[in-house]
Structures are given as C-alpha cells and as structure tokens.
Amino acid sequence: MSLVLCVACAVSSGRAEEPVVSANRDAEVLEAVLLDLLRDPGHDSPLGDKDGPPKEIYFEAELNQGAKNVKEILLRTTERPWQSLSPPQLEKVEAAANDLVRRVTAKETLADFQPKDSRIHLYDKEKPIVPHGTGPVRAWIPGYSPDGVWAVVRISLPSYPHVVEATYALANVEGKWRVRLRQFSHYY
C-alpha cells in the first residue's frame, strides 16, 4: 500500500516524467511498418501487384548497417506525404532521423524479433525461400524523438531490377505505433 502512495506522490510532485518506453519498441515499430506494407492502402509500394497487397512478407532480422545520413533519410522525392505533418511534428521526425543515424553509427542491433502476424516470416539465409526470388525486406535500426513519441524507420524493399527504399515516420498514439508518413524512393 505504501508503494502505491509513494508512486502517486512522485507523479504529483511536478517532476518531469520520463517517456514510457516499451521493452521491445524496435520490434513494435518494425512490425507496424511491415503490417502497413501488407495492407497496401493505395500507396506506391513495390510489393503489391495488380491483385493487391502481398499475401506475406519475408523480413531479414539482420539489420542493414550501411551508413545513412539525415538528409538521405528525409529526402523528399515528393512533397505530398510530408504536407500532412505540422512543423513541430517535422522537428520530431528530424530528431528521430538523427537518432537513427546515431544508432546505426553505434552499430546497435535488434533484440530477438519475433513477429506476431503470421504473414510476416523471418528470412533464413540457410533456406532462402522468398516469393518471386526478389529477396527479403531489410531495415536499419529505428530512430526515436527525444520524447519517444515519434519513430523513423528506413527500409529497403525487394524490387527487381532496381532498388527501392522507404522512409516511414510513426507516432505512438495511446500505446500503438501508427504510420503518419511513408515515402518510397526508387533508384534505377
């Protein structure tokens, strides 16, 4: 009983609270991005086809380690997706992109990623089974805004014969990561 009273006192004392961070928020954020690719909400994802979104996705849990910079991550190939974010939200997204770069530079790794959705399969290099022989979706470690509310994810998508990368910005709304921006960049 006294522990509950102490916690209540600490919260009401006016001290700044630390953001609530899930023990496995990287996995939660990455799964939100992969689920978005499976939903195909009418965007230009290279994984969909005339029949709609992909039925399944293969994900390489070994993260991309190639250097990224904030300018490259936030490059606007089209303005439309970015117009939905307010200036304060864009500042949070830029801070999250800086954190992504910091984490990649520090060579941080992903904790044991076990997707909850049965349509998301972990790619096994020993048994390379991927539809259409295109390869798995790969990601860089996510970055977060200082308050932990915004996340930026950069992924590479299997697409033959060119390279496709995507930038996602997500916001944590009531404990769930929601996609607020997606932009696909096609490199020929």
> Of 99, 24, 115, 103, nearest to 61 (Cα)?
115
Q: Which whole number is the average pLDDT over 26-48?
A: 82
Task: Quote the pLDDT of residue 177.
Answer: 97
> Of 44, 75, 73, nearest to 141 (Cα)?
73
> Which pTM value belongs to this model?
0.82
Output the six-digit token pair for 181: 């921006």
Residue 8 clears pLDDT 50, i.e. is over it: no
Task: Quote the pLDDT of residue 169.
Answer: 97
Give me the residues paired with residue 52 across strands: 49
- 131 φ, ψ (degrees, to nearest 5): -55, 140
The residue type found at 100 is L
176-187 vs 163-173, strand pairing mode:
antiparallel
39 in helix, strand or coil?
helix
Q: Which whole number is the average pLDDT over 65-81?
A: 86
Interval 93-113: pLDDT, tens: 999 999 999 999 999 988 888
Residue 37 clears pLDDT 60, i.e. is over it: yes
Contacts of 156 (CB under 8 A, 6+ apart): 64, 137, 138, 139, 163, 164, 165, 166
**Can you say whether the dihedral through the CA atoms of 110, 96, 177, 187 is positive or negative?**
negative
Average pLDDT score over the chain: 81
The answer to which of 69-73, 87-91, 95-99, 160-164 has the lowest mean pLDDT is 160-164
The residue type found at 26 is D
Output the six-digit token pair for 94: 């830029």
- 169 φ, ψ (degrees, to nearest 5): -120, 130
Output the six-digit token pair for 66: 């190639």
Contacts of 169 (CB under 8 A, 6+ apart): 85, 93, 96, 150, 151, 152, 179, 180, 181, 182
Task: Quote the pLDDT of residue 181.
Answer: 94
